[in-house]
Each structure stands twice: as structure tokens, then as C-alpha cells.
Amino acid sequence: MQRAALFRGGDAQMAAGDLGELLVPYMPTIRVPKSGDRVYKTECAFSYDSPDSEGGLYVCMNTFLGFGREHIERHYRKTGQCVYLHLKRHVKEKVPGASGGALPKRRNAKLFLDLEISSDLNSDDFEYEDEAKLVIFPDHYEISLPNIEELPALVTIACDALLSAKSPYRKQESDSWEEELQASKHAKTLVQLDNGVRIPPSGWKCSKCDLRENLWLNLTDGSVLCGKWFFDGSGGNGHAMEHYRETGYPLAVKLGTITPDGADVYSFDEEEPVLDPHIAKHLAHFGIDMLQMQVTENGLRDNDIKPRVSEWEVIQEAGVKLKPMYGPGYTGMKNLGNSCYLNAVMQAIFSIPEFQRAYVGNLPRIFDYSPLDPTQDFNTQMAKLGHGLLSGQYSKPPMKSELIEQVMKEEHKPQHNGISPRMFKAFISKGHPEFSSNRQQDAQEFFLHLINLVERNPVGSENPSDVFRFLVEERTQCCQSRKVRYTERVDYIMQLPVAMEAATNKDELIAYELKRREAEAARRPLPELVRAKIPFRACLQAFSEPSNVEDFWSSALQAKSAGVKTSRFASFPEYLVVQIKKFTFGLDWIPKKLDVSIDMPDFLDISHLRARGLQPGEEELPDIAPPIVIPDDPKALDIDESSVMQLAEMGFPLEACRKAVYYTGNLGAEVAFNWIIAHMEEPDFAEPLVTPAFGEVASSGAAALGAVGLDNQPPEEMVAIIISMGFQRNLAIQALKATNNNLERALEWIFSHPDPEEESDPSLDTMDMENNANANILADTGSEGPRIKDGPGRYELFGFISHMGTSTMSGHYVCHLRKEGRWVIYNDLRVCASERPPKDLGYIYFYHRIPS
């Protein structure tokens, strides 16, 4: 075996024995990765440098963190760690053979078994050469690998274990519900038969039986066959698997799951669901255009909608030649599998100067003061993402020669543009049952989740989330006594209802609905879509109108009465986020989307919605809280059975549903559902509801029940209810005092105010602000009050996030931002100048205040 060379400045050599002596002082700092250790060998902790980058990646042999060339010295100075494993991937054109083809050449292929291969590369023309070496700081001694004979055994074992370690994102933490899918080994080399098979848009049936559900398209020969049989009697007859055993054709895609964002692909050979990076090409072979496909509720119909009105086509500006954008602020983000909601929100967030200054402007300080494990620090990961998006380092235009070659060869040279936010997503979603999964999520909920984390992790004297915060004045009036109560709360999003009754094309909508039902019944292609056209002013009017208060208790009458509530802006934020409430729940409790077109204005004036406070002639409701009576007999508990049944129909145990509804104060199935998600791992989750302490409290305190003054100690009955939900006593008392002993609002207060004296509980972290539909964080009761940036109520639109699909559980998100006088579309990795920004189809809109 050739002796390894130890380089200093590239020209010094040492004998094998000298290598061992050189490493002796560093042996105590060299560790062998154990089970559970995370090895970050694909991404720098402070940047998006990787082994593909020009300087490669340095992996600490003690902490297993990766660092790019720009940040390795910082880690060495901070920790004193001297030994790093340097990884570098070289991409080269293959050497042509005598027949004109490329020679299959691959060196050191086993060094990076788990390193991702860029899908931009044409494997017929390029090859990878992977290189690894030990580097000793501060003198940058280099030891080439492999070097089994010359290196001490511990070092050799450590290097081998590190090089063969799986990606830290391959298997998520135990609290994640899903594992990340990996690209199939057959995807790049899949052979497709030129047999003329074309798959129709609907009417599929298994070619070996009469089943029309759970059908799979074999990507080699185009056979449509049924899937496997399930224990509950559903599924199919297993003809797709039989076909694989007969032919060896490995990959199949499930019909009805194909969307522009991907599809469900299964590998019979690898015996698991997989990713197919070339799925669009493989489907096009059988005449399927992914851009026109969309999932329906029953999975039986796909691209019957005309391209010119399809939501997917319009929002993504398909069919229009878009000019790619490069440079600072024009960096795309890789879709990690249904992570487009995260990509869209973060692109919008880092287009705001306050967030740029807070994280990118303070980047050196944040990095210098980051903990020893920067992968677990929120501000470090925010600064890293902001720098990745705004520096332009990962968005470089191809050279002129490369452009010419691309045109000549009609193919893409390797480009490593864009960033992969794996580390950011892993941290920001940690402990959250939804965001830590690979399922599609609601961008609005993720926005609130992000703001919650920004609030908890301040950076500098000003919190950048202050630009979104505003005060809402709620005026509640007793319809019988005509007395009123004014309260204030904090909010971050203006939610606009969709005024469907104000549609300007009602006749067309009625005609379309009749034709659609006839087509579905006859299994014919659907008619051309007619989308409801809603005036924006109607939505704004619906927002400002009074709404009925359910189960209102009037302190003036000391009895239940009819009440109405009106909301106004007590302050206007610097940046106004407007959500169009397109999503609702159907009778089957499945989220559904209203497909509407709203003429959102470029300039918005909501000055008329400014709150005015108590008006002359108005009389305030007395400050008296309603009495709460807890029955001695648990069997007599007042539980909303309709909410219980809604939850039970979703598959949860009946007793767990009863407890969920009871412990959330009969506030509805949605709030109870959140309780179930937070408590479903508890051992007594499905046990019957037992409340022995309540009877004792009620009997001992019955005489004290009745009207309770606001200045008095909160009633023990209310405190007991909150404690029974798992919260600490001091937090329950604090919440009740802060909300005038209002049980419902006390729960909202708890969800948005973690106990400062106790260590934050993970279950609270996952049920915080995002569980409140409006992020209704109550105003801080301290002397200073909440931080707001009040000003005029005149705004200009600078961005919007659009959703494609039938519900928040599926589909795709795209972001449009106005930069340098033009609109730009951010569609994951693709960043282009927008030609037709679909402002009428957005879901979340971002406005900035117009200076007065």
C-alpha cells in the first residue's frame, strides 16, 4: 500500500511512525461515533457549504459537526479541537471512450455512501470523485485517506465510522411521525419500454381484475394494477406485486396521488416507499403531464381542468417563459418533501429589512456567541438561513460559456445553486407533531409557529417580530342591557372572511355546479372551471361587521343573554399580514378550500377600522365574572356530546374524547382535538374520566360561589380545572388574574405565555401560539405592555403566498415578492422574474406601511 503523505504547505513528508507520534497528543479528543450520535457530514453548521463546495467540508472528530472553510477557524478557536476530517466531492466530465460513449469511472465511491447526488447532473456525462483527508489545526497538516497501515487503530476506526455514518436527517427523532423518503436506486437507470402505452386521465381499472381503487402504474411497461390487500379488507388483490415478481420491473406510482409537487412511488425491489427524482420524465413517457395533475378527495380523477384556469398553472405561471433570477435575495430553497410551506414563509420573512438586520446584520455576533452545538440554537439557524438567502453565495448565474454549451447540448451543466434547509427544518420543527413530519402543512400556522419562536429567542434590543404585532380592541355588547365591555388583545394576522354571498358571477357558478355534478355522475371530464369572483371590499366589510357571541353571560344581568362582538384595530402594525380564510371544515371534518378569486388591492387603507374606545353615552358592563359550578357527581358533568362524537368519528377512543371535551371547557371539537394530540401518549389516555378532586372542591367552596370581584383571588374551582389539564398551580392563578377570571381566555393566555419560572415543557412548546386560530395572545399585563409600532393604516402590497390544492393537508405553496420594482416568483429552487403575478389567488398577503 502506498505510504500516506503528511503535508504542511504541500511539500513535507513523514514516515508512518511519525504519523502515529503526531496524532498522540490529539488522541483523547478523537471519538468514534456511537449509536445516536449525529454526524453532520453534508452541511456546515453556520452556512450551506457542503463537500460539493469549493472549500469542501471539515467535520470535527469530537463533536461530528461540519464546518465550511469560512467557519472552521471559528470552531477551532472556540473549542480548541484540532483534528478534522475534510471531505470534498469533485464533479468531472467523463472521459469519452473509443466509441464516443463515456467510460464508467468512479473513484472512492464508498467514502460517501450517504451523500446526496445532485439531481442537476446528467449521469451519462459526469462522474463523482470523492476525497477525504485528516486535517490538523492550527498548522493545517493534511493526511490523505484511506491510510489503514499508517494511522493508529482508533483513528482508523473513527474515520471509517464517520464516513459510513448515516445522514442525521435519515431517521428523525422519536417524536417525529415519519421517516424521510430516500431516492430509489433504480430511478436514474430505469428502463421504460417503448410500447405505445398512454394512460387516460380517468376511468382506470386493474388490468387483471375489476378494482378501480388503490391502483398502481408500473413505470417500466405502463401496466395499471391493484395494490396489496389490507387487514381491514380494503386495498386490492396484490396484482401489482405479482407483476413485479413475474417481470422484475421495480418502480410503480400510485394513480390519484400525482401532483406538480410529486407522487407516491413504491419500489418493490427495495420494499419501501421511495423518491423518484425523475418522476416527471417517467410519467411523461406514458403521456402524463405532472403540471396539470391534481389529487382529488377520492383519488380517482386528475387533470380534467383546463390549463388556462387551473390553479396549479396560473399560480406557478406555467406556459410562460420565465427569466431566472440570480444574486443576493434571489436564492431558491430545496423542497425536502412537502416543505414548500416553510420555503414560502421564510422567503417572505427574509425580504423584510427588520429581519435582515436582526439576523444577517448581527451574524458575526450571533455566530461568535452561539452554543457549542449551533445546530440547536434558534438564532444561529435563523442567521444561517438569512445569510444563505441574501448573500448571493448560493445563487450564481452560469458563465457565458456554460450558457452557450447548455443551448448547444440542450442540457444543464452542474449548478449548485439554492440551499437545502434540512438543518433549519429539523430544529424549528423539533417537538412539533405536525411540522416535524413530512406531511403538507398550513403556511399560516407555520408563520405563527415561527413568530412564537422569534418571541422566545430575542436577538438584540429589538425583536424583529414587533413589526407584525398589533393591538385589537374587542367591543362586546349585551343586547338586552345595551351595556358594553372593551378589551384588548395582541394579534399578528388580520384574518379576512370570504364573503361568498357577494360573488359577482353567481349565475355562472350555479350553472357550473350543475354541469360538474352531471359530469361526475356520468364519469365524464369536468367542465371548464368557474371560480367565484369576490370583491375585496365585501371581505373587508364582513370583517368589520358585528358577530354573535355564543353562550354569552352578561355581568349586568348576571345571566346568559344575547351578545355581539366587534373588532377594531387599537394599533396598526408596521407590516400587515392578511390571511384569506379560504379553508374550512366539511361535514366529514376534513379541511376543504374555497376556490375563489379576490381582487386584492396594491394599496390598502384601513384607517376607518381604527378603534375609538368607550364612547360618550356608553355604559360599561360590571367587572363581575360568571359563577362556575362543578357538580359533585362526575356522571352529571356537562359535556358537549356533539364534539365528543366528532372526535370519536376520527378514530380516537370514546373516553379520551370525553376527557378532551371536558378538560377544554366545552370550547369545541377543534380545541379538544389539540388536547388529544398533546396527551395521546399518556398511559391513562383512554381511561374513563374521573374527577374526585372536583367534588371535594365544589362541596367545600359551594358557599363561596357566585359573583366574584376581579380583584379577588381566582376561584379554586377555575384553578382546579386548569390544574387538571396538566398546568402548574402558579401558572393557572397567573393566567386567571391576567384575564379577569375568564376560563376560556385564561387557557389562551397560558398557550401564549410560557411560565418564566419553570423550564419550558415540550408539550407546551408544541401547543403554543399556533393552536390559537387567530394567535390571540393577550396583551401583557405588565406596566410596559406589549411592544407595538403604531402608525397610519395605509399599506402597499409587497408579497403574497399562494396555495394550490384542495386542503392544507395537500398541495403546494409558492411565494411572490416585489423586489427592485418587479415581481419575482419563488417556487422552491426556482426563482424567476414573474410575468403574471396571480394576486387574486393568494392565501397570505404581506403589506408594508406607507410612510406618512
Instruction: Please give the Cα distance from 223 to 286 (Å, whole number).
Output: 10
- Listed range (209-213, 624-628, 792-796) with the worst mean pLDDT: 624-628
Residue 460 pLDDT exceeds 80:
no
Predicted confidence (pLDDT) at residue 733 exceeds the cutoff of 70: yes
- Strand order through the sheet with 563-569: 547-548, 563-569, 470-478, 484-491, 777-778
* pTM of the complete model: 0.69
Structure confidence at residue 546 (pLDDT): 92
Burial 43-80 (b: 16+ CB within 10 A, else e): bbbbbbbbbbbeebbbbbbbbbbbbbbebbebbbeeee
Given a cut of 60, is residue 747 above it in pLDDT?
A: yes
pLDDT of the residue at 8? 37
Provide the total of helices (H) and of strands (E) in the chain, helices listed first: 23, 32
| Residue 698 binned pLDDT confidence (cut-offs 50, 70, 90) | very low
pLDDT tens figures, 106-127 = 444 444 545 555 544 545 566 7
Question: Could you give the percent of the chain with pLDDT greater than 70?
Answer: 76
Neighbours of 134 (CB within 10 A): 25
Q: Is 479 a catalytic residue?
A: no
For the chain, percent of residues with pLDDT exceeding 90: 41
Residue 692: the pLDDT is 45
Q: How far apart are CA 787 and CA 769, in angstroms?
A: 17
| Residue 43 to residues 39, 277, 642, Cα–Cα distance (Å) | 10, 21, 50
Alpha-helix runs per DSSP H in 530-689? 536-544, 641-648, 654-663, 669-679
Question: 706-730 as b/e, with b when 16 or more CB fall inside 10 Å?
Answer: eebeeeeebbbbbbbbbbebebeee
The pLDDT, as a whole number, for residue 645 is 82
Residue range 612-625: mean pLDDT, rounded: 90
pLDDT at 158 over 50: yes
Q: Is 848 labeled as ligand-binding?
A: no
pLDDT, tens digit, 9 for 90 and up, residues 645-693: 878 777 778 888 888 888 777 777 777 887 787 777 677 777 787 654 4
pLDDT for 718 equals 73
For the residues 160-164, what does the mean pLDDT come to? Answer: 88
Closest CA to 449 of 459, 439, 441, 458: 441
Given a contact cutoff of 8 angstroms between Cβ atoms, the answer to whether 754 and 456 are in contact is yes
Compute the distance between CA of residue 772 and CA of residue 751 in angstroms, rounded to an integer.
8
Whether cis (ω within 30° of 0) applies to the bond prior to 146 is yes
Q: What is the DSSP string of 365-393?
A: HHHHT--S-GGG-HHHHHHHHHHHHHSST
For 793-805, b/e burial (b = at least 16 CB within 10 A) is bbbebbbbbbbbb
Residue with more model confidence, 226 or 171: 226
**First-to-final CA distance of the chain:** 76
Cell numbers given for 656: 379520551
Mean pLDDT of 808-812: 81
For residue 717, pLDDT beyond 50 = yes
**Catalytic annotation present for 44:** no
The helix (H) or strand (E) run that includes residue 73 is: helix 72-79
Residue range 769-798, pLDDT digits in tens: 333 333 333 333 344 567 889 999 999 999
How many whole angstroms separate alpha carbon 775 and alpha carbon 220?
A: 49
Q: Which three cell numbers stand for residue 334?
A: 430545496
Q: Of 279-288, 640-649, 707-716, 798-807, which range is least confident?
A: 707-716
Average pLDDT over residues 408-417: 48
Listed range (49-53, 199-203, 463-467, 485-489) with the worst mean pLDDT? 199-203
- Mean residue pLDDT of the chain comes to 79
Q: Do residues 262 and 293 touch, judged by C-beta distance below 8 A?
A: no
d(CA 677, CA 685): 11
In this structure, is the dihedral angle defined by the CA atoms of residues 428, 768, 808 and 330, taken in order, positive or negative? negative
Model confidence pLDDT, tens digit, residues 821-832:
999 999 999 999
List residues bridging with 60 in a β-sheet: 84
> Are the C-beta atoms of residues 150 and 14 closer than 8 Å to each other?
no
Which amino acid, 832? C
Cell numbers describing residue 366: 450571533
Q: Is pLDDT of 607 > 50? A: yes
Residue 322 confidence (pLDDT): 92
Are 228 and 238 a contacting pair, CB within 8 Å?
A: yes
Tens of pLDDT along 13-56?
444 457 778 888 999 999 999 888 899 999 999 999 999 899 99
DSSP-assigned letters across all residues of 496-544: EP--GGG-TTHHHHHHHHHHHHHHHHHTPPPPPP--EEE-HHHHHHHHH
Of the candidate ranges 72-81, 177-186, 510-519, the one whose mean pLDDT is the lowest: 177-186
Whole-number Å distance between alpha carbons of 421 and 769: 23
Confidence of residue 291 (pLDDT cuts 50, 70, 90): low
Secondary structure (DSSP) of 271-329: TEEEB-TTHHHHHHTTT--GGG----TTS---S-S-TTT-HHHHHHTTTS-PPB--STT
pLDDT of residue 205: 83
* pLDDT score at 391: 94
pLDDT over 60 at 463, yes or no: yes
Residue in 340, 539, 815, 832 annotated catalytic: 340
Q: Is the pLDDT of residue 296 over 80?
A: no
* Per-residue confidence (pLDDT) for residue 686, from 0 to 100: 77
The answer to whether 209 is annotated as binding is yes
641-679 burial, b at 16+ Cβ within 10 Å, e below that, comes to: eebbebbbeeebeebbbbbbbbbbbbbebebbbbbbbbb
Residue 792's pLDDT is 95
Phi, psi of 217 (to 5 degrees): -95, 115
Please give the average per-residue pLDDT across 491-515, as a whole number.
Answer: 92
Across the range 723-732, mean pLDDT stands at: 71
CA pair distance 702, 576, nearest whole angstrom: 48
Q: Is 337 left (phi over 0), alpha (psi -120 to 50) or beta?
A: left
pLDDT of residue 811 exceeding 50 = yes
User: In the predicted model, is pLDDT for residue 267 greater than 80?
Assistant: yes
Q: What's the confidence (pLDDT) of residue 270? A: 87
**Overall average pLDDT of the 817-843 stretch:** 95
Residue 493 CA to residue 575 CA, distance in Å, equals 10
